[in-house]
Chains A and B, each alone.
Chain A
Amino acid sequence: MTRMSATRGLCMRTMMELDQSCSVLREYGSEQSLLSKPDGSSTFVQGDTSILAGVYGPAEVKVSKEIYDRATVEVLIQPKMGLPGVRERAREQCVRETCEAALLLTLHPRSSVTVVLQVIHDDGSLLSCCLNAACMALMDAGLPMSHLFCGVTCAISKEGQIIIDPTARQEKECRALLTFAIDSAECNVLISSTTGSFSVQELQQCIAISQKASEQIFQFYRDSVKRRYSKIQ
């Protein structure tokens, strides 16, 4: 498995002078087409958090779930231990709605697209890692998409410092945790899922930082796919 480390030393200064925060993404890596049965598969690793994604589609759909003019998207998140619970359902809803906005579903009516995400290891930023893995798997499956998306998590510590891509320990100690999904076409916010309380300025700062970080992640997608196709040439 080939790894690609994030460009280190990319220190981003925030807009306000009050909070001097150094936000660096953890080392990330990904691989596509590693499973033989699903139509598309990928794995995405951010630091120690690792997610494996598989996509089946466009496939047959049950008559009770079929929609006459678009494809039905289903997302299943399997936690590392135990059965999926209420928390996984909330995450599944976020990932599903993002995929529905990015895919061109009207091209495959009365069919289903199933995305299965398996948590291999959870060390913080779980939802954003799920989003990144899902995007790479959808690209690998060759489903038509109108734009790409990526996930970025920000944590606001008790002192007001903004940390990007927090580890599990940083998440526990922080005052607020914000996860955003950013699209590649206009760098706008697709999903926002927050816990903890924060001010409006802190929200705007986090969005700006996430948009900057998303550019890095999209560049990484591009390099990843280039590497994969270079073998075929």
Chain B
Amino acid sequence: MDTIHACFKEKIGEVLLPGDVFSFRLPESGDGSIKSEKIICGPGLRRNGEEVRVCKSGILRHKQPNMYWIDSQQRRYVPAKGESVIGIVTTKSGDVFKVDVGGSEQASLSYLAFEGATKRNRPNVQVGDLVYGQFTIANKDMEPELVCIDSCGRANGMGVFGADGLLFKVSLGLVRRLLAPQSEIIKDLEKIFPFELVVGMNGRVWVKAKTVQQTLIVTNLLETSENMTSQQRQTLFKRVAEGSL
């Protein structure tokens, strides 16, 4: 329990650079028994034989009981299986839509992957529409595939959306903070005025409020809250709330 976790524990919350190495020397236990420890290395950490190497710069984070990862700031999205993203339909070719998700390749979306879609009953998707979908296949060797239904065949919030509203891009770190279970930013924003929000893990956010002005205010607040501490953000939101009422 001790050696590996101890190596990591002293660096939790510290900024690490690529090339930093955690090497483990197993202690020689007198009775000859070897305790096996299991740790889960998340994004930014790679196993290299007997050692774990840091491959992205960022802060080392820890989640009980044994998960460690590097929290790095990035703008470019790399598709991963199971993530929900906002995509823009670019072409319709036969039975498949090509969707731009911001990665190195366009994802494919079959027309049957919508709720209630059959060969006769095609979904109403045009080039330029916004779709919210999940990745079923997303690895480095194959073209990524999106679907707009869950495993039971229901839409569950996915599909085409976005008549009116504004789509803009933020960094991946901010998106993760928005999607966290008890997100402070969302809570503070709710107090200002009501609005609709769709957040894609590829850094794309769609906002719609009652008037165009309110939509733009929310957009600007989200874009600026990226580089602010929570204090600064709360003062800013308070000022805006007073100004708009």
Contacts and interface: CB of A to CB of B under 8 A. Distances in A.
Direct contact of A and B (CB under 8 A): yes
A138 B74 CA distance: 11
Interface string B49-60: 000010111110
Contacts of A225: 15, 17, 57
Interface string A129-170: 000000000010111111110000000000000000000000
Main secondary structure of the interface of A (DSSP, over half): loop
Q: How large is the interface on B (under 10, 10 to 19, 20 to 34, 35 or more residues)?
A: 20 to 34
A128 to B, nearest CB: 19
B217 interface: no
Interface in A101-122: 104, 107-112
B18 interface: yes
Q: How large is the interface on A (under 10, 10 to 19, 20 to 34, 35 or more residues)?
A: 35 or more
A229 B15 contact: yes
A184 interface: yes
A25 B206 CA distance: 49
B153 interface: no
Given A110-B105, A142-B56, A225-B57, A58 B15 contact: no
A124 interface: no
A184 B44 CA distance: 17
B19 A146 contact: yes
Contacts, number: 86
B173 interface: yes
Nearest to B173: A232
Interface string A191-233: 0000000000000000000000000001001100110010111
A147 B76 contact: no
Of B18, B72, B74, B173, the most chain A CB neighbours within 10 A belong to B18
Interface in A35-86: 39-40, 57-61
B17 A229 contact: no
A24 to B, nearest CB: 24
B240 interface: no
Given A39-B75, A40-B75, A141-B76, A148 B17 contact: yes
Contact of B18 (A57, A60, A139): A139
B183 interface: no
10 contacts: A57-B104, A58-B76, A108-B78, A108-B104, A110-B105, A111-B105, A145-B18, A225-B57, A229-B58, A229-B73
Interface of B: 15, 17-19, 21, 44, 46, 53, 55-59, 72-76, 78, 103-105, 140-141, 173, 227, 229
Q: Which 5 A-B pairs have the closest CB atoms?
A: A142-B74, A111-B104, A147-B19, A145-B18, A144-B55
Interface of A: 33, 39-40, 57-61, 104, 107-112, 139, 141-148, 183-185, 218, 221-222, 225-226, 229, 231-233
